[in-house]
Amino acid sequence: MNGEPQEVLKTTYREAVREAIRDAMRRDERVFLMGEDVGRYGGCFAVSKGLLEEFGPERIRDTPLSESTFVGAGIGAALGGMRPIVEIMTVNFSLLAADQILNTAATYLHMSGGLFNVPLVIRMATGGGKQLAAQHSHSLEGWFAHIPGIKVLTPATLEDARGMLWTALEDPDPVLIFENSTLYNMEGELPVDAGAVDINHARVCRQGNDITIITYGASLFKVLDAADILEKNGICAEVIDLRTLRPLDDATYLSSVAKTHRALIVDEGWRSGSISAEISARIMEGAFYELDCPVERICSAEVPMPYAKHLEQAALPQTETIVTTVKRMVGTNG
């Protein structure tokens, strides 16, 4: 652009996802969207609002409440030459389709000795913070990241909400995209020509030398807020948005840890057996002698998500906790 200011549009995360779907539908006639209430209702989180009118019921398909079957049908349609985008309302409902995701989508290529790949994209809302209680609020993306054969994307920024879908659709294998539901109303600017983004690399969102804070999804913004506060306290945190939980981009966070010598992982999933545990282990394996202090983690409390606001907020990672933890880590191990 030769330094010329890019033309930008005001938008929201929701609109960015919608624009990504619209763009994909226009670019490739094999692409279609199916899921519960994606058509006439406009999507549970209004992501697909207006798409039925634009693309018609053949390509914007309302499904019955049959998660296992419409995900399985997505797998079949992908095998049959289409490029389906399957929307599952929330990650908790995805468990009704866990069999198809794990036993079929993730295994077909391998079980068939490389004959049949499954170019399927599954999008779903994830995360807490909206007082939706214990059956609509969990963060199970780290759990899905346990499964070989699928890719797990967690777009946090508008750029990624807009750009990850097309890259996922171009992928020959199943890709799961987790959209944190607290982000849908997030406003910001996107270049008018925003498009596909890389999905193989984590991103350093903020440079720093004192500590590496590794996170993804909605926690990214709590971490960035914490980094602002910490800067005023003379602590310069490097912030990494993982963006993709499987495969993990080890190189980016390991080289950061080699620079800062401290690592904190902020993860909205439960602590035990979490993606944060995996990253911590990899830091131990790959950068142990670079560390000035133990790797620490801030995760969600190990309870089913409570409804009451004060309890829900207490269960989730918070900016204040991040600030205090980093101060202690840097202060006592300086």
Partner 1 sequence: MSEGKIIQKGVHGVDCEHALCLLYQMMFIRRFEDKSAELYSAMKIRGFLHLYNGEEAVAVGAMQALTPEDAIVATYREHGQALARGISAGAIMAEMYGKQEGCSRGRGGSMHLFDAKTRFYGGNAIVGCGLPVAVGLALADKMQGKKSVTCCLFGDGAVAEGEFHESLNLAALWNLPVLFFCENNLYAMGTALKYSQSVTDLSKKVESYDVASSSVDGMDVLAVEAAVKKAVEFVRSGKGPYFLEFRTYRFRAHSMFDPQLYRTKEEVEEWKKRDPIDTFIHRLKDQGLINDTDIKELEEKAEAEINEAVVFAEAGTWEPVEDLTRFVYSERREV
* Candidate segments 61-69, 226-234, 255-263, 318-326, binder of partner 1 by CB under 8 A: 61-69
Minimum distance from residue 200 beta carbon to partner 1 (Å): 12
Residue 172's identity, in one-letter code, is: P
69 binds partner 1 per the rule CB under 8 A: yes
159-188: which residues touch partner 1 (CB under 8 A)?
170-173
3 binds partner 1 per the rule CB under 8 A: no
- The question of whether 141 is a catalytic residue gets the answer no
Minimum distance from residue 176 beta carbon to partner 1 (Å): 14
Looking at 22, 37, 49, 76, which residue binds partner 1 (CB under 8 A)?
76
Q: How far is residue 284 CA from its own chain's centroid?
A: 24
Looking at 75, 213, 220, 240, which residue binds partner 1 (CB under 8 A)?
75
For partner 1, the closer of residues 118 and 315 by Cβ is 118
- The question of whether 136 is a catalytic residue gets the answer yes
78 binds partner 1 per the rule CB under 8 A: yes
Structure tokens at 245: 């939980």
Q: How far is residue 117 CA from its own chain's centroid?
A: 23
216 binds partner 1 per the rule CB under 8 A: no
Contact 259, 210 (CB under 8 A): no
Distance from first CA to last CA of the chain, Å, rounded?
43
Per the listing, tokens 């910001």 go with 188
Per the listing, tokens 């030398």 go with 209
58 binds partner 1 per the rule CB under 8 A: yes
DSSP string, 172-217: SS-EEEEEEGGGTT-EEEEETT-----SS--EEEE--SSEEEEE-T
Out of 15, 19, 36, 67, which one is annotated catalytic? 67
Residue 30 exposed, middle or buried by CB count within 10 Å (0-12, 13-18, 19+):
middle
Minimum distance from residue 29 beta carbon to partner 1 (Å): 9
Size of interface with partner 1, in residues (CB under 8 A): 43
Looking at 48, 94, 104, 182, which residue binds partner 1 (CB under 8 A)?
104
Neighbours of 115 (CB within 10 A): 8
41 binds partner 1 per the rule CB under 8 A: no
Structure tokens at 59: 């390509």
Q: Between β-strands 151-153 and 175-180, what pairing exists: parallel, antiparallel or unpaired?
A: parallel
111 binds partner 1 per the rule CB under 8 A: yes
146 binds partner 1 per the rule CB under 8 A: no
Q: How far apart are CA 68 and CA 107, in angstroms?
A: 16
Query: What residues make contact with partner 1 under the rule CB under 8 A?
Result: 32, 58, 61, 63-64, 66, 68-82, 84, 99-100, 103-104, 108-117, 148-149, 151, 170-173
User: What residues act catalytically?
Assistant: 67, 136
